């Protein structure tokens, strides 16, 4: 399933298109981080870095991708739908009553969503527990936990960061989608002490790399590096809120928001996609 | 009880000390049982388990929320994790239990030791007064309160086997053992420890023992039925309704806030099924440091408080009969 950088960039574009369509249909949700995470998850699911079987989401041999920043789940829904884990047509059901696509991630809904999240600062601990369990069973499966940068403000996140190296969890990769924004403003304004973040992970004994998380070449290189780590590995992934959509990029107001018909047309244009006939 | 499982009746034993040996015995036959503790395994006598099974004993340091999340992850991989700390420190984990355990629908056993004011000298920061209310409010988790050291092996085994998550409350103060090997223990099934006709006393934890002493002391003036309601959720409604129907008066006794714990659970059952004159004995304020006996008296959960509640509820029953 390994693909060229250009192929992965095209997959990322298609995921962004599907994400914007999904959020346009729901008239609510969190576009900013749903779009900032896309290059990383595109590389994981389409670049051969995450082992999974789209016909068998609960395959015992799969690697697990945990989305701790559960508000970014529309991006993940779009990604795993395109990966074949559930029908793309269901994306229109985001946040609607009676559908599988909850407003924040819910374990098993649809199959392929590994954990429930939404209340921040919990995913890394769960990922550690899974990584420990896999080690106890002598299994080679790996665990990837994506978090937001705002989420690094939760004390419980640091409990988990401190713990992981104690057990040499070389099957655990933490990815911080550092898009620089949170609901009420830029993270650098809300909590300036967050930086430097990579140095903090290093100080807590993690092997760490810092990349431009919207540059597919750098993303692929970081994931390849993570595969050879001797312990828990952290990727500080600097991204742009709302990446790919001109009026959202870098604007914290798009942490959440409504994509109107007019804004939808602009977004499709930005993403090089024809506006679907209504 | 280093090797045997049960202590002689009347021996003073701390419930928390019986946890480690009981868990070790169970874990020897079940490799899926693991412990994650927020640095309080020693207080629950788990050192030997940690030495015998170091790969199944995780001390995550003073980090309760991480402990809960790790347990959720271990459960996802098929293990039966026991999260072990003091009940007083579990309040901060509520959101993690709700989402990482509850929303993920995983099976985790949470052990809160030093329940109520049983860690009396350490003062209010170490008293667990809200844990039963908190866990009772969450779906898919049973709430079990251990009454004496002899109940520990049965309760731990039942919790490990239970199909849902379980909150298991233990205690620190060494108190006389009053159940024996033959006393039944089934999650969700209360034990009538002593039959009576004037009033039903529903208690949990070591206060069951205190209430049995009260019943002795009030005999023959009063015939008191004492129920060990070790499972606060799911509560054994049939046993409570039946006893209330026979005695016509109910007192609940718990080392917990009067709001949201055993008393509330019993009141809900009776109000909906068999309205009965009732009094709740429990705490309405934070307690202070002191000896256990001093603290329970000052906190309003001593023997005299139980006796006063019994007198009041019997009077209310008589008043009702006159109307």
Task: Return d(Cα B38, Cα B54) in angstroms, integer.
Answer: 15
CATH of the domain at B90: 3.40.50.970
Mark yes or no for CB contact A125/B78 under 8 Å: no
Which two structure tokens, joined as six digits, stand for B176? 């006389």
Task: Return d(Cα A19, Cα A74) in angstroms, integer.
Answer: 6
Q: Are B208 and B255 in contact (CB under 8 A)?
A: no
Q: Are A107 and B105 in contact (CB under 8 A)?
A: yes
Is residue A278 scored above 80 in pLDDT? Answer: no
CATH of the domain at B253: 3.40.50.920
Residue that is last in its domain, among B128, B148, B176 = B176
Q: Are B110 and B68 in contact (CB under 8 A)?
A: yes
Do residues B99 and B225 both lie within one domain? no
Is residue B67 scored above 70 in pLDDT? Answer: yes
Q: Give mean pLDDT, residues A200-228.
A: 98
State residue B40's pLDDT score. 96
Do residues B29 and B107 both lie within one domain? yes
- What is the tens place of the pLDDT at every residue in A32-53? 999 999 999 999 999 999 999 9
Task: Answer yes or no: B64 catalytic.
Answer: yes
Supply the ipTM of this predicted assembly. Answer: 0.97
Question: Domains of chain A: which residue ranges?
Answer: 5-270
Chain A residues inside the 8 Å CB shell of B74: 129-130, 132-133
| Residue B35 phi, psi (nearest 5) | -120, 135
- What is the tens place of the pLDDT at every residue in B68-87? 999 999 999 999 999 999 99
Mark yes or no for CB contact A129/B60 under 8 Å: no
Model confidence at A2, pLDDT cuts 50, 70, 90, reads low
- Alpha helix stretches (DSSP H) within chain B: 15-28, 47-52, 64-76, 94-96, 131-136, 152-161, 207-218, 237-247, 262-273, 292-298, 303-322
Q: Which of B103, B105, B139 to mutate to test the interface with A (most CBs of A within 10 A)?
A: B103
Q: Are A109 and A102 in contact (CB under 8 A)?
A: yes
Mark yes or no for CB contact B105/A119 under 8 Å: no
- What is the tens place of the pLDDT at every residue in A61-112? 999 999 999 999 999 999 999 999 999 999 999 999 999 999 999 999 999 9
Task: Return d(Cα A113, Cα A106) in angstroms, integer.
Answer: 7
Helix (H, G, I), strand (E, B) or coil at B119: coil
Do residues B217 and B90 both lie within one domain? no
Structural domain boundaries enclosing B228? 191-317
Mark yes or no for CB contact B77/A128 under 8 Å: no
**Residues of chain B contacting A, Cβ within 8 Å:** 34, 36, 55-56, 58, 60-61, 63, 65-66, 68-79, 81, 95-96, 98-100, 103-105
> For chain A, how many helices (H) and strands (E)?
10, 7
Q: Are A110 and A43 in contact (CB under 8 A)?
A: no
Q: Give mean pLDDT, residues B89-102.
A: 98
Model confidence at B4, pLDDT cuts 50, 70, 90, reads low
Q: Which of B36, B77, B79 to mutate to test the interface with A (most CBs of A within 10 A)?
A: B77
Which two structure tokens, joined as six digits, stand for B92? 């901060």
A66 - beta bridge partners? A145
Say if B43 falls within a structural domain.
Answer: yes
Chain A residues inside the 8 Å CB shell of B78: 133, 137
Do residues B210 and B170 both lie within one domain? no
Mark yes or no for CB contact A136/B69 under 8 Å: no
> For chain B, how many helices (H) and strands (E)?
11, 14
Query: Residues 6 or more apart from A199 whose CB is under 8 A from it?
Result: none
Task: Return d(Cα B187, Cα B154) in angstroms, integer.
Answer: 10
* Domain spanning A5-270: CATH superfamily: Thiamin diphosphate (ThDP)-binding fold, Pyr/PP domains (3.40.50.970)
Task: Return d(Cα B282, Cα B204) in angstroms, integer.
Answer: 11
Tell me which residue has tokens 């870098």. Answer: A250
Helix (H, G, I), strand (E, B) or coil at B179: coil
Which two structure tokens, joined as six digits, stand for B35? 């412990």
Tell me which residue has tokens 């309405």. Answer: B284
Task: Return d(Cα B70, Cα A131) in angstroms, integer.
Answer: 9
DSSP annotation of B207: H
Say if B161 falls within a structural domain.
Answer: yes
Q: Are A196 and A166 in contact (CB under 8 A)?
A: no
């Amino acid at each position: 399933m390994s693909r060229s950088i250009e192929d992965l960039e095209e997959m990322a574009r298609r995921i962004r298109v599907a994400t914007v369509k999904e959020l346009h249909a729901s008239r609510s949700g969190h576009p900013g981080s749903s779009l900032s995470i896309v290059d990383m998850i595109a590389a994981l699911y389409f670049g051969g870095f995450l082992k999974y079987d789209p016909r068998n989401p609960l395959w015992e041999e799969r690697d697990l991708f945990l989305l701790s920043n559960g508000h970014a789940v529309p991006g993940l829904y779009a990604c795993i739908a395109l990966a074949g884990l559930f029908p793309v047509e269901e994306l229109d059901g985001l946040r609607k009553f009676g559908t599988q696509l909850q407003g924040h991630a819910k374990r098993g809904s649809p199959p392929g969503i590994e954990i429930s999240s939404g209340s921040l600062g919990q995913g890394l601990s769960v990922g550690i527990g899974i990584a420990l369990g896999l080690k106890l069973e002598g299994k080679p499966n790996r665990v990837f936990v994506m978090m937001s940068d705002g989420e690094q403000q939760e004390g419980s996140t640091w409990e988990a960061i401190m713990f992981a190296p104690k057990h040499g969890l070389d099957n655990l990769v933490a990815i911080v989608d550092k898009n620089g924004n949170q609901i009420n403003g830029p993270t650098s304004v809300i909590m300036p002490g967050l930086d430097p973040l990579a140095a903090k992970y290093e100080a807590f004994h993690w092997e760490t790399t810092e990349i431009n998380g919207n540059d597919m070449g750098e993303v692929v290189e970081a994931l390849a590096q993570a595969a050879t780590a001797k312990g828990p590995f952290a990727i500080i992934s600097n991204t742009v809120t709302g990446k790919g959509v001109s009026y959202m990029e870098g604007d914290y107001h798009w942490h959440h928001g409504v994509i109107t018909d007019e804004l939808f047309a602009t977004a499709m244009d930005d993403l090089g996609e024809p506006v679907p006939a209504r | 009880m280093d090797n045997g499982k049960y202590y002689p009746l009347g021996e003073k034993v701390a419930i928390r000390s019986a946890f480690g040996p009981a868990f070790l015995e169970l874990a020897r036959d079940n490799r899926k049982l693991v412990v994650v503790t927020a640095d309080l395994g020693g207080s629950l006598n788990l050192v030997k388990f940690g030495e015998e099974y170091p790969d199944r004993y995780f001390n995550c340091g003073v980090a309760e929320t991480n402990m809960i999340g790790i347990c959720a992850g271990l459960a996802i991989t098929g293990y039966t994790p026991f999260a072990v700390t003091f009940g007083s420190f579990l309040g901060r984990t509520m959101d993690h239990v709700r989402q990482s355990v509850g929303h993920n629908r995983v099976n985790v056993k949470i052990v809160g030791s030093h329940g109520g004011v049983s860690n009396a000298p350490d003062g209010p920061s170490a008293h667990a007064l809200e844990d039963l209310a908190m866990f009772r409010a969450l779906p898919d988790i049973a709430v079990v309160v251990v009454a004496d050291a002899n109940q520990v092996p049965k309760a731990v085994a039942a919790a490990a086997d239970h199909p849902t998550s379980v909150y298991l409350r233990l205690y620190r103060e060494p108190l006389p053992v009053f159940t024996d090997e033959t006393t039944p223990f089934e999650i969700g099934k209360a034990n009538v420890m002593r039959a009576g006709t004037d009033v039903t006393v529903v208690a949990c934890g070591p206060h069951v023992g205190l209430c049995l002493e009260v019943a002795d002391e009030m005999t023959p003036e009063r015939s008191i039925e004492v129920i060990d309601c070790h499972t606060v959720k799911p509560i054994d409604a049939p046993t409570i309704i039946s006893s209330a129907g026979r005695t016509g008066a109910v007192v609940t006794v718990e080392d917990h806030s009067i709001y949201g714990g055993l008393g509330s659970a019993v009141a809900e059952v009776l109000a909906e099924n068999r309205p009965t004159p009732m009094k709740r004995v429990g705490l309405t304020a934070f307690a202070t440091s002191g000896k256990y006996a001093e603290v329970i008296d000052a906190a309003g959960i001593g023997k005299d408080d139980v006796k006063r509640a019994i007198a009041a509820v019997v009077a209310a029953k008589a008043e009702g009969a006159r109307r």
